Amino acid sequence: MAQGIFFFVVGPSGAGKDSLIEGARAHLEEAGRYVFARRTITRSAGAPGEDHHGVTEAQFRALVNAGEFLITWEAHGLSYGLSIDLLTALSNGRNVIANGSRKMIRELAGLVPRLIVVEVTASVDVLAARILARGRETALQARARVMRQVEPLPVDIETIRVSNDGALEQGISRFIHALANATERLRLRRVPLSTGLERVAYLPMHSAFLSAADYLGSSKVDLLAEGKSLSVQIHGMDAAALLASDEIGLSEEAFAHWGVAEGAEIALRRTPSPASRQALMQKVQGQELGEAEYEMLLRDIIEGRYTDGEISAFLVSATRSLSDAEVVALAKVRTRFTPVMHWDRPIVVDKHSMGGVPGSRITLLVVPIVAAHGMAMPKTSSRAITSAAGTADAMESVARVDLTAEQVQRCVEQAGACIAWNGRLNHSAVDDVMNAITRPLGIDSNRWSVASILSKKLTAGSTHVVVDLPYGPRTKLKTQAQARELGDLFERVGAGLGLTVVAFATDGSRPIGRGIGPALEVRDVRAVLANDPQAPRDLRDKAIFFAGQILAWDPAVGSVEVGRQLAEKLLTNGQANAAFERIIDAQGRKVPVLPGPLTYSVRASVEGWVSELDGWRIGEIARRAGAPADKSAGIDLMVGQGDQVQEGQCLYLIHGANAADLDSASVLARMSNGVTITPLL
């Protein structure tokens, strides 16, 4: 025999829980399917209110000691208890309805076979009016009582909501209807219809158990069975041959994905939960949300319970109004959707750059410098989205980067560090959903980005993080003031997360290094590590600056100045170069990708001096040549900003391995090559 459901009724004072329960008793108790729990309370049995078993405090304690209660709680100076006998009713297949306290939900969920919370609600004005009608409180007291903060309902426990802000008969009808929907089960059937990526369930239009029309629309519904849930879009079906009146059908793809046996009993739950939808609406209206609300919202968004339009509205609002506390809350919540790496070290360091500067591959220098000193740096990096190379793209030209968490652990043990792709490590399911909407709409938010970035540092197990914030005409941050403001936010939010974060505004007005594209950038890195006199000085200097900041976190180093001196020493004596080779071996050495054999020379049209290098345009040309997918493709800069050039002198070489891509890049360069030359007077 299937066990019954425990309906735990909660709601604020004045919501009318007792009235709804008594109204339902009159309609349902005689049939014998429901048991209406009679609470034991430490007040006299003749007191106004619900029908209860009144006892003294001493009698209540004696019942507790005798094990007579399933649960007990304290409220308003009274003790409440529900009988242990209710478990027997549940085991006999009867459903229990009990008036309770929301603070006991979690405990009760662990004691009964299936718990459904019934939240009875009403507007603030209705609640206050009902409390006033009792004649026990003033208008001010009643208002204060209904406005007080209440503990949010657990997001992982099935909840149904009943509005009771109208006539009592209407509220009772809603309450009974909610109970019926929860108790009537449908049998699962596989429907021979294909819906592609969309997960669809079908309800018979003339069901004897529920109204299919109640579930149609854009909102999704959760199916519950065998401890599993599946979020689906509901469609109606009027075909008795395919779907009986007591069945629910699943499309071929949804059935295969869920893995629940055909014929299983299915329960339906509307999604998102009322509490989740209320949180979303509050954010859309610009209100501040807390950690629990963001966890509930992001989980529903990831699991497909909101439409793209609803997510877009939420994101647009979130880009406009996120407090520091909300950024901290978002970062904490995001870590719960990604595995966290743990390290048995007091200091684990990391570096992040907001990017936008072509050729600035300083991470491939900072990591081996830090590793050469003996500090742990499990660096996880992204691939390029709009640039000619990301850190992972560049590293992949010499080593494997698609590492598992276990392989990262091994690399750090062997080499002190790694430079891995974050796609297999702290890849964010939240970003998958959000980016699919934000990128086409052009939605961007520095505050949202800070939460995303620092959550990934937390999941990587970092304790100390340095942040590079380039600013310039073509970067994300246009001015030094914007970069400094964002740096302050990084540091404040980092402190709120228990991280040590320092951020620096850096000049992003021009490319750094000579190479732009994976193989060419690694060539520059190797030149710096090998102390080649022709190595790009700007790349070396910036790497030493950031490595010095990180090394200063070692108590044995003590200061940033000493840290910089140490970083330069580790480069000069070859220890950083040796550390880089150890990291490559630990990750899995590959035959190095060399710059593409096909080249096109972009030359100066006039004599003069280089007044501007447009890194964004030059990077675009590198991408047209095939970077970063073609790791040999890119641009080799032959001049720097401020250099004097002759007419016909080579400004840069475009490298590639595909003639068609190279031709396309050369056409783009002839239209506008990204190098501004001011003629000599």
Instruction: Label residue 118 exposed, middle or buried (CB < 10 Å: 0-12, 13-18, 19+).
Output: buried
Over the stretch 63-89, which tens digit does the pLDDT of each residue have?
999 999 999 999 878 999 999 999 999
User: Please, which pLDDT band fits residue 434 given cuts at 50, 70 and 90?
Assistant: low
Q: Which residue has the higher pLDDT, 150 or 554?
A: 554
Q: Which residue has the tokens 């006998």?
A: 85
Helix (H, G, I), strand (E, B) or coil at 619: helix
The tokens describing 76, both together, are 């308003």
Q: Please list, residue by residue across 624-647, b when 16 or more beta carbons sit within 10 angstroms of its beta carbon and e when fewer do.
A: bbbbbebbbbbbbbbbeeeeebee
Q: Which of the two residues, 395 and 439, has the higher pLDDT score?
A: 395
Share of the chain above pLDDT 70, in %: 88
Mean pLDDT confidence for 190-216: 79
Tokens of 324: 């520091």
Report the alpha-carbon angle 485-490-492, nearest 5: 95
In the predicted model, what is the mean pLDDT of residues 401-409? 91
DSSP 3-state of 653: strand
Mean pLDDT of 185-214: 80
Query: Which part of the chain is CATH 3.40.1030.10?
Result: 349-587
Cα dihedral 326→328→332→338 (10° resolution): 90
Q: Give CA–CA dist 509/610, Å, rounded.
A: 13
Q: Residue 128 pLDDT > 70, yes or no?
A: no
The band of 219, judged by pLDDT with boundaries at 50, 70 and 90, is low
CA angle 150, 152, 155 (to 5 degrees): 170
Q: What is the mean pLDDT of residues 232-236?
A: 88
Q: Which of 671, 674, 627 is nearest to 651 (CA)?
A: 674
Cis peptide before 628 (omega within 30 of 0): yes
**Helix, strand or coil for residue 4?**
coil
CB 523 within 8 A of CB 515: yes
Lowest mean pLDDT among 62-71, 290-299, 563-572, 618-627: 290-299
Percent of the chain with pLDDT over 90: 54
Tell me phi and psi for residue 358, to 5 degrees. Answer: -60, 140
Pick the CATH number of 349-587 from 3.40.50.2300, 1.10.3720.10, 3.40.50.2020, 3.40.1030.10: 3.40.1030.10
Contacts of 660 (CB under 8 A, 6+ apart): none
The torsion angle over the Cα atoms of residues 561, 565, 570 and 573, rounded to 10 degrees, is 180
Q: How far apart are CA 172 and CA 150, in angstroms?
A: 24
Phi-psi region of 520 (alpha: psi -120 to 50; beta: other; left: phi over 0): alpha
Q: How does residue 164 score in pLDDT terms, banded at 50, 70 and 90?
A: confident
The edge-to-edge listing of strands for the beta sheet with 634-637 is: 515-516, 634-637, 650-656, 598-603
pLDDT band at 360 (very low <50, low <70, confident <90, very high): confident
Residue 379 pLDDT > 80, yes or no?
yes
Fold of 598-679: Aldehyde Oxidoreductase; domain 3 (3.90.1170)
Residue 595, preceding bond cis, omega within 30 degrees?
Answer: no
Instruction: Say how far apart CA 164 and CA 172 lie, in whole Å.
Output: 8
User: What are φ and ψ of residue 442, in 5° steps?
Assistant: 70, 25
pLDDT of residue 148: 52
pLDDT band at 149 (very low <50, low <70, confident <90, very high): very low
| Residue-wise pLDDT tens digits, 530-554 | 999 999 999 999 999 999 999 999 9
Higher pLDDT, 161 or 191: 191
Q: What is the pTM of this model?
A: 0.67
pLDDT at position 439: 63
Which CATH number is correct for 186-270, 3.30.465.10, 2.40.40.20, 2.40.160.60, 1.20.1250.20? Answer: 2.40.40.20
Q: What is the dihedral of CA 575, 577, 579, 583, to 10 degrees?
A: 180
Mean pLDDT value of segment 470-489: 92
Q: Which of 85-94, 273-282, 375-384, 671-680 has the lowest mean pLDDT?
A: 273-282
CATH T-level fold of 6-183: Rossmann fold (3.40.50)
Average pLDDT of the segment spanning 292-298 = 85
Strand order in the sheet with 69-75: 53-54, 40-41, 78-83, 69-75
pLDDT, averaged across the chain = 87
pLDDT, greater one: 350 or 129: 350
Q: What tokens does 642 get?
A: 């401020």
Q: With a cut of 60, say whether residue 47 has pLDDT above it.
A: no
Q: Given a cut of 90, is residue 634 above it in pLDDT?
A: yes
Best CA proximity match to 165, nearest among 125, 119, 118, 117: 125
Q: Where in the chain is the domain with CATH 3.40.50.300?
A: 6-183
pLDDT surpassing 70 at residue 341: yes
Identify whether the C-beta of residue 134 lies closer than 8 Å to the C-beta of residue 20.
no
